[in-house]
């Protein structure tokens, strides 16, 4: 392919681009931060590849993992193949479950409004696949 490893940016991670990369079979090297914008790509990678070797905890580890993967084509090829295989069963690409959860959240908000309550500022809907 044209790309063997997606080097995610920090502190604003990839969002839909991360899903595109993963769907294309390209693993993502990511570093998670503390806020939503810096946790999306790492969350997607974690759902697709639990225990993934491409999730760094520090900038130094990010560099170390990147060098290790870039200098080991076989390891990188295995990781690419694992991404391609796991995408079919991953909740990351399960549009049906996502839609069910989204509809559930909308119904909860509608029920609250019809009952005369304003929805909470931070409403949390627990997904079935989490």
C-beta separation of 118 from 111 below 8 A: no
Q: Dump pLDDT digits (tens) for 26-43.
A: 999 999 888 888 889 999
Got the DSSP string for 1-35? ---S-EE--SSS--SHHHHHHHHTT--EEEE--SS
Provide the whole-model pTM: 0.74
Which residues lie below 8 Å from residue 100, measured CB to CB, with a gap of 6+?
A: 128
Q: Does the pLDDT of residue 129 top 60, yes or no?
A: no
């Amino acid at each position: 392919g044209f790309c063997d490893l997606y080097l995610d940016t920090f502190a604003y991670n990839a969002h839909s681009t991360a899903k595109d990369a993963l769907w294309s079979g390209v693993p993502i090297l990511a570093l998670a931060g503390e806020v939503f914008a810096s946790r999306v790509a790492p969350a997607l990678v974690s759902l697709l590849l639990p225990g993934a070797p491409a999730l760094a905890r520090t900038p130094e580890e990010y560099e170390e993992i990147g060098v290790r993967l870039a200098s080991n084509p076989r390891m990188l090829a295995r990781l690419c193949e694992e991404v391609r295989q796991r995408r079919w069963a991953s909740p990351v690409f399960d549009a049906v479950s996502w839609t069910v959860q989204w509809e559930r959240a909308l119904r909860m908000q509608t029920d609250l409004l019809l009952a005369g309550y304003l929805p909470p500022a931070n409403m949390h809907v627990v997904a079935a696949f989490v």
